[in-house]
Structure 1
Amino acid sequence: MNSPPAAPASRFNLLHEPWIPVRPVGGGPVREVGLRELLLNARDFGRIDDPSPLVTAALLRLSLALLHRALLGPERIEDAADWFLHGFPTERLGTYFDQWEDSFDLFHPDKPFWQVRDLTLDLDGGRYRSHWTRLGTEVGSANTSPLFNAAARPGGERRDSLSPAEAARRLVEGQTFLLRGTIQRFTLSARDAPVATFALSAAQGRDLHETLCLNLPVYAAQLNDRAVWEREPLSVQFVREFYDDKATELPLGWADRYTWPSRSVRLVPEVGDGGEVRVTSIGFAAGLPFAGAPEGEGSALDPMVTLRPPADPKKPEFFPLKLRREQLLWRDLSALLPDPHLERAAVVKDGQVKFSARTGREPTVLQHAHDLLQAAGQPQDVGVSVTGLLSKDAKAFAYRQETYTLPEAFVTDSGGFSDNVYNALNGAKGVADGLRGATRKLAAEVLSRGGERDPHKDDVSDLAQTLPGLEAYWAALEQPFRVLLTDLDTPGPALEAWRGAVEREARRAWTLNLRGAGAGGAVHGYAYRPRRVEGRLQPSPQQVLERALSALRSGTTPPQDTAAEQEATP
């Protein structure tokens, strides 16, 4: 390939050129469309469907930013309901597309889409030149593990170039999910993209149009917002001055958040002998320092992010929910649902300020989905997808997307639905605590030989952690929980079936632990026989579990002595 870009031939307008993968309604192979067709014909598509969930989530955020800015709304929930039922105002969309046509050109010489116009490869002796893989979190950026790094595969092979459509998708993904790390271009260390490590929630409708509407919250207070294509074209001098002055910039609204220039990028098109355009090399550097945080209200709160309360209720800071390596999100799903209970409140008592316990804040998009379906008079099942990058020490080691289906009760009785989910999960966690306490007590009994000697607490912990019951318990409950969610339109039978599943899997897990601790009558004796310690009769390991199961059936809190056993458990 020839390295210099060929100017007018190297144009790729994202409004018109096919580059976003979509799955048609009713089946059929995935095909690619431009942004204009995506939004004007959204009812024809089931969903945006890229092989990478990170790309899919980033493309949804870009589409929502474009709708918010083109329609300057919805200003009221009634507007959102009207669009949901009757479609977006196409004339307003068309006028906006025409106004910003040039700003969506991926290779525009003066204002390339979501890029820095003069970040050329020969700037400062070529130190800004990088391979395209810097843009893809899972395909070889500097912040990935060898599992994901394309250049680290056996033989060191990697794809040499991308088509313009592929380059556009990687650009959008990178601006949304790239992690912090050493970069030495404008600054020593680039920051995380604003939502790089957060769990991003999105409501899913029956087609793409419904999905877009369900994730388009009321926008009336954000008319001063802007998207990246509405900015003055970014330049090297503009970005460099931010770092020279140690400045940061606040997002003006949701579209500004969704399209934040977290990296300075310039895609370099190369034209082959057959006239095809490819991207191999890119200009790459730190982007604009982001001063926003997920805490707060309005434009200071990303609509897709769930906020959790701190452990200390006296501390005002919320923190964003992240996906965890060791457990799936369903065990924490109540954090995503509108909470009918009061949040933090300060009460003055005896001259001192007391703080009540408080809950977190559900994603704005899910609260909006509930309000929209109510206003439209169209209760229906709602899918919820949660996408996130899993990382440690700014190194990505996995990504995950989890999808759940919420029944009509989410719309018709959100308070009751949320309470039922919370109580179901709380009951399962109470039994897990009982199982954990019983397992630790069993390990102590086995190592002490029924009280003949005093084992070290670390040895007890090590043995308890090798027993497989607790992990098997949680793994077995995922499918019953999904069934519970879909059946909560009739909560009585659904909750009874759930409690039955919890008890059944807890007993199976306990059997696994007994086998793991060693076969024979001695282990069973340790498990079922109470022992007197310092004149006080202590419950057997089996009794600890039985009390937790009894509390599950009655909907009460386990007895105090069971709680004490749980507190002693690591």
Structure 2
Amino acid sequence: MNSPPTPIFKLLHEPWIPVRPVDGGPVREVGLRDLILHARTYSRIDDPSPLVTVALLRLTLALLHRALRGPTSTEQAAEWYKHGFPIDRLEAYFQQWDDHFDLFHPEKPFWQVRDLTLDLEGGKYRSHWTRLGTEVGSANTLPLFNVAGRPGGERTDALTPAQAARRLVEGQTFLLGGLIKRFTTAAKAAPVATLALTAAQGNDLHETLCLNLPVYAGQDSDRAVWEREPLTMQSVREFYEDELSEVPTGRADRYTWPSRSVLLIPEINKEGAVQVTSIGFAAGIPLEGTAEGSGSNIDPMVTLRPPADPKRPERFPLKLKRDQLLWRDLSALLTGPEGEQRGSHPPGTLTHARAVLNAASAPQGTSVTVTGLLSDQGKAFAYRQEGYTFPRAFITDPEAFATAVNRALDMARATAQALNHATLRLAAEVVSRGGEREPHKDDVRNLAQTLPGLGAYWAALEAPFRVFLAGLDTPEEAATAWRASMTREARAAWAMNVQGAGGDGQVLGFAFRPRRTDGKYQPSPQSILDRALTSLNATPRTDSTAPEVPS
């Protein structure tokens, strides 16, 4: 395979971003210019990988911020939302930076290091393109995701230029830190590699872009990766030799951070088409400070949570959890009196989206997606994207909306606590054979953990919570239905636990029988749950207290 003349693949014009048309047609690929200028004709960016999708969205937002130097106010954002972007300013910017979006440019390849060639130092910097894809076999991916290579040899599969461009954007956004031995021993993770990224969703792609363009401050000092001086091996190496790091100059810089030094190596295959098999790969520019930023440089897609220790003022970024869907912690995304008391800093994208929809007098609420990569000890094991629908109440009365959500989640947690308490009491009765012997606490805990009710309770509540959330334009009706769902699922979960503990007459006796130990009355396991559910359904609709959990 011979080395071809340097090909040209300009990301502003060449089709490479997958989009779904609003008319229901099949997904097709478009360039960045078409994506922005005709965004109303597309419903969304639609790559099979949610990591690629959100990375492409962040790139597009960075381009809009830099081209339009805005929005400078919520009112301007609402104007764009209703009437479109100023096309003349976009076209002038596209023309100015056209060459800097060439994927294979010999002097300034897009988001790459121009002289990271493969023959340096005996091919030390050579890697397969899969180093760029978290889920397709990178060094930080568990074997479940790895694709087997050819028997007795290395992988030889190749990417088209469009595929290579998408993997480049994904890798710069989501690659994990770890051993690399290229410029440094261990490379840092990309700025938002494992964080939960929140984006508001409009009725079409144009609305989505406007809803995720928070007011843009500090645009004079900010820069995107294509506005930087082209990176070289020497300029990157100096950071590590001098033990330096760099602070993003603003939002676009943060969205397009060069977390890895990459050079895509184009080849010509047997059919005469350009492809990418090998890449140059090394550590990128080390980021100073926290990945989520601080002050006016906080990443707008990131939610910040209060520390567990109140003596430590630093907030920490929200991440998706391995064993818990985000709806159970959805109040972190919301603002309002209760949200402020809880110390969360909601994502700027969602706060901005609410302000724009309100200013534009939009008749509907909005949908929200939260995307994240899940990792353990530097290894990626899953990625997940969750979507939620917020009704009009989220726009018109955000404080009441947040209060209702917080109250609903508090009630669900308290009911789960009562279910867990009842389950531990039942396990103690079973292990002690109704009080014949003193049970060991480890035996009680181990038995309780084998019973499936608590997990089933939370799993069964996901769909009712979504119904509750969408119904908060009529909050009293939504709350009544939510309490009914919690009661129903708690009782179903309790029945599963009783059955799992044996389910025979003796176990049923343990479940319903109270007893007195050392002169102290102990309610039956069944009554612990019953009292909590009675408290739940007796709670006045304006009362924010959670159901009582008997001791």
Superposition TM-score, scaled by structure 2 size: 0.96
CA distance in 2, matches of 1:451, 1:210: 64
Q: Is the 8 A contact 1:5 1:268 kept in 2?
A: no
Residue number among 146, 149, 160 corresponding to 2:143 in the alignment: 146
Q: Is the 8 A contact 2:192 2:292 kept in 1?
A: no
Residue number among 286, 307, 325 corresponding to 1:289 in the alignment: 286
Q: Is the 8 A contact 2:418 2:550 kept in 1?
A: no
Q: Secondary structure at the match of 2:143?
A: coil
Q: Is the 8 A contact 2:130 2:136 kept in 1?
A: yes
Does residue 425 of structure 1 match 2:409?
A: yes
Amino acid at match of 2:536: L
Q: Secondary structure at the match of 2:145?
A: coil
Does residue 221 of structure 1 match 2:205?
A: no
Does residue 319 of structure 1 match 2:320?
A: no
Residue number among 23, 35, 43 corresponding to 1:38 in the alignment: 35
Instruction: Judge which range, 396-405 or 309-318, deviates more.
Output: 309-318
Residue number among 350, 358, 368 corresponding to 1:374 in the alignment: 358
Q: 1:344-493, aligned counterparts within 5 Å? A: 358-493=342-477
**Other-structure match for 2:240:** 243
**Other-structure match for 1:190:** 187
The one-character-per-residue Cα deviations of 1:335-369 (angstroms, maximum 9, x if unpaired) are: 111233474xxxxxxxxxxxxx6421110000000
Q: Is the 8 A contact 1:252 1:299 kept in 2?
A: no
CA distance in 2, matches of 1:457, 1:342: 37
Amino acid at match of 1:412: T
Q: Secondary structure at the match of 1:150?
A: coil
The one-character-per-residue Cα deviations of 1:272-324 (angstroms, maximum 9, x if unpaired) are: 34321000000000001011325664443110011111112221011111111
**Other-structure match for 2:275:** 278
The one-character-per-residue Cα deviations of 1:410-432 (angstroms, maximum 9, x if unpaired) are: 10111111111111111011100
Amino acid at match of 1:377: S
- Aligned-residue Cα RMSD (Å) equals 1.6
Q: Secondary structure at the match of 2:166?
A: helix
Residue number among 194, 203, 206 corresponding to 1:206 in the alignment: 203
Change (3 A) 1:154 1:399: farther
**Other-structure match for 2:542:** none
Amino acid at match of 1:111: K
Greater than 3 Å deviation, 4+ residue runs: 151-159, 294-299, 554-562
Q: Secondary structure at the match of 2:372?
A: strand
Q: Structure 2, unaligned stretches of length 5 or more? A: 540-544
Change (3 A) 1:292 1:88: farther
CA distance in 2, matches of 1:150, 1:412: 49
Q: Secondary structure at the match of 2:383?
A: strand
Residue number among 481, 493, 499 corresponding to 1:497 in the alignment: 481
**Other-structure match for 2:255:** 258
Q: Is the 8 A contact 1:295 1:318 kept in 2?
A: no
**Other-structure match for 1:513:** 497
Q: Is the 8 A contact 2:191 2:292 kept in 1?
A: no
Amino acid at match of 2:24: G
Q: Secondary structure at the match of 2:409?
A: helix
Q: Is the 8 A contact 1:150 1:156 kept in 2?
A: no
Q: Secondary structure at the match of 2:110?
A: coil
Q: Report how far residue 258 of structure 1 moved.
A: 0.5
CA distance in 2, matches of 1:32, 1:553: 53
The one-character-per-residue Cα deviations of 1:500-533 (angstroms, maximum 9, x if unpaired) are: 0010000000000000000222111111111111
CA distance in 1, matches of 2:470, 2:421: 32
CA distance in 2, matches of 1:286, 1:5: 27
Q: Secondary structure at the match of 1:334?
A: helix
Residue number among 156, 159, 163 corresponding to 2:160 in the alignment: 163
Q: Is the 8 A contact 1:308 1:318 kept in 2?
A: yes
Amino acid at match of 2:158: S
Amino acid at match of 1:168: A
Residue number among 59, 64, 74 corresponding to 2:61 in the alignment: 64
Q: Report how far residue 381 of structure 1 moved.
A: 2.2
CA distance in 2, matches of 1:560, 1:509: 17
Q: Secondary structure at the match of 2:369?
A: strand
- Identity among equivalent positions (%) equals 68
The one-character-per-residue Cα deviations of 1:372-398 (angstroms, maximum 9, x if unpaired) are: 111111141201001111110010011
Equivalenced residue count is 546
CA distance in 2, matches of 1:122, 1:80: 49
CA distance in 1, matches of 2:201, 2:28: 20
CA distance in 2, matches of 1:341, 1:428: 17
**Other-structure match for 1:353:** none
Q: Structure 1, unaligned stretches of length 5 or more? A: 344-356, 563-570
**Other-structure match for 1:550:** 534
Q: Is the 8 A contact 1:181 1:190 kept in 2?
A: yes
The one-character-per-residue Cα deviations of 1:475-504 (angstroms, maximum 9, x if unpaired) are: 111111111111111111111001100100
Residue number among 129, 132, 135 corresponding to 2:132 in the alignment: 135
Change (3 A) 1:51 1:398: same
CA distance in 1, matches of 2:11, 2:362: 34
Change (3 A) 1:294 1:267: closer
Q: Is the 8 A contact 2:66 2:219 kept in 1?
A: no
Q: Is the 8 A contact 2:414 2:549 kept in 1?
A: no
**Other-structure match for 2:89:** 92
Q: Secondary structure at the match of 2:337?
A: coil
Change (3 A) 1:296 1:164: closer
CA distance in 2, matches of 1:535, 1:296: 57
